[in-house]
Structure 1
Amino acid sequence: MNTTKHTISILVNNQPGVLQRVASLFGRRGYNIESITVGKSEEEGLSRMIIVTNGDHHKLEQISKQLYKLIDVIKVIDISANPMVERELALIKVNAEPSIRPEIIGVVETFRATIVDISPKSIMVQVVGDSEKVKAMVELLKPYGVIQITRTGVAAMIRGV
């Protein structure tokens, strides 16, 4: 069985409880959600969910069929089946005594990340990119002492033609 990562775009009515019903569907069926982001779409009254999950083709078909059974779901697309752009934002707070800040700044600049806060003992870094870039940045900052990480989850779209 070939398990791969899938990025699914789900267009839904912007109604209370829709997110809970979609997340519950995944949980009841034993499907793991790696990442979920939700926001208003280009159409008034509709929201777009981007869900990253793992599974084979059969599992993805089952997820899609189950999602369409939910009354507020309008459209389900596996956007990872197409060329796509994927981005995630992470804020990473790192221990940073003044003596080691130049090293950390070097890592930040290499990743084209941004320092968004400096305190006497820490630096907060903002990094934007695909999930692999965020993961790599976190790994390089771990030796300095990561205090806290906040990640947005994946936002993704199919590339233009």
Structure 2
Amino acid sequence: MQITNQPSERHVLAVVVDNEAGILARIAGMFTARGYNIDSLTVADISEDHQVSRITIVTNGPPPVIDQIHAQLERLVPVHKVTDLTEEGPHVERELALIKVVGTGDKRVEALRLADIFRAKPVDTTTESFIFEITGAPEKIDSFVHLMRELGLVDVGRTGIVGMMRGVVD
């Protein structure tokens, strides 16, 4: 079976780990050493005692490569659980972005109108610029950024994707 002949698939992996120094570097190093790409990476403390974190990784590859990534992540000692949200079924993905748009006159009015349609909230305003906060699926943010390019986009900051299984899950 040749991996290169299989189509690449996007997968969202939720990795629960001990919150210890160096774990993120070990995971990133595993990806680097094997030539895998990380499209998005987020980390958050998820326990009251700050002992456990959740790392959400978005990556691409043919099914055998995704299986290999999953298996190699599970072998790392401080990893408690690896869940491939893409394989497990219906899940929710969200991202947050801050988008700075500079403009006056009609472009300013249009930027505000589009922000309202996309439910983006102005979090900083001057007479010549806005910083909008938008949350949603990555495709929604991509669309908003694309439209803002024509209206004076000057900067974009994105958090990366977080995801969670829908419904009641073990």
Shorter-chain TM band: over 0.9
In the TM superposition, what whole-angstrom CA distance separates every residue of 1:9-68 from its partner, at most 9, and x where no partner exists? 000000011011101111111111000000012464110000000012111111012112
Query: Is there any run of 5+ residues in structure 2 with no aligned partner, and where?
Result: 1-5
In the TM superposition, what whole-angstrom CA distance separates every residue of 1:61-98 from its partner, at most 9, and x where no partner exists? 11012112211111111011210010000000011224
1:67 to 48, 73, 79: 73
Structure 1 outlier segments of 4+, above 2 Å: none
Q: Distance between the aligned counterparts of 2:26 and 2:33, measured in 1?
A: 10
Equivalent residues of 2:108, 2:151 under 8 A apart: no
Q: Distance between the aligned counterparts of 2:24 and 2:127, measured in 1?
A: 40
RMSD: 1.2
1:54 to 57, 60, 63: 60
Moved more, 30-39 or 112-121: 112-121
- Flag the 1:107–1:8 CA change in 2: closer, same or farther, 3 A: same
Aligned residues: 161
Query: Is 2:150 aligned against 1:143?
Result: yes
TM-score normalized by structure 1?
0.95
TM-score normalized by structure 2?
0.90
Letter of the 2:73 partner, please give it.
L
Corresponding residue for residue 115 of structure 1: 122
Corresponding residue for residue 37 of structure 1: 42
Query: Is 2:160 aligned against 1:160?
Result: no
Q: Distance between the aligned counterparts of 1:42 and 1:128, measured in 2?
A: 24
Query: Is there any run of 5+ residues in structure 1 with no aligned partner, and where?
Result: none
Identity over aligned residues, as a percent? 40
